[in-house]
Amino acid sequence: AHPLMVRAARSAFEAIDSRQLLAAASLGHGPGSIFIRVALPLARRGLAAGAVLAFARALGEFGATLMLAGNIPGRT
């Protein structure tokens, strides 16, 4: 599930226009402030999509494990 989240997050951050980050820097914001106030809000849709994909994958793996190894009386 982790690679799905990383891929979605990377794509979301790469899609941000660097001119917006440079504009925030020119207004006096530091790197941390730019990340929190500019980059994260711009990438929130990609981050949310990655979280949904990762959760769905984890849920599917849990279901498969439960079907194969779970609910055996006296063993699990």
In a domain, 65, yes or no: yes
In a domain, 31, yes or no: yes
In a domain, 14, yes or no: yes
In a domain, 64, yes or no: yes
Global confidence as pTM:
0.77
The DSSP call for residue 76 is: -
In a domain, 74, yes or no: no
What is the overall mean pLDDT for the chain? 91
Structural domain harbouring 26: 2-69
pLDDT confidence band for 76 (50 / 70 / 90): low
Q: Domain total for the chain? A: 1
In a domain, 57, yes or no: yes
Average pLDDT over residues 53-75: 81
Average pLDDT over residues 18-29: 97
Average pLDDT over residues 38-62: 94
Taking the C-alpha atoms of residue 12 and residue 37, their distance in angstroms, rounded to an integer, is: 15
Average pLDDT over residues 52-63: 91
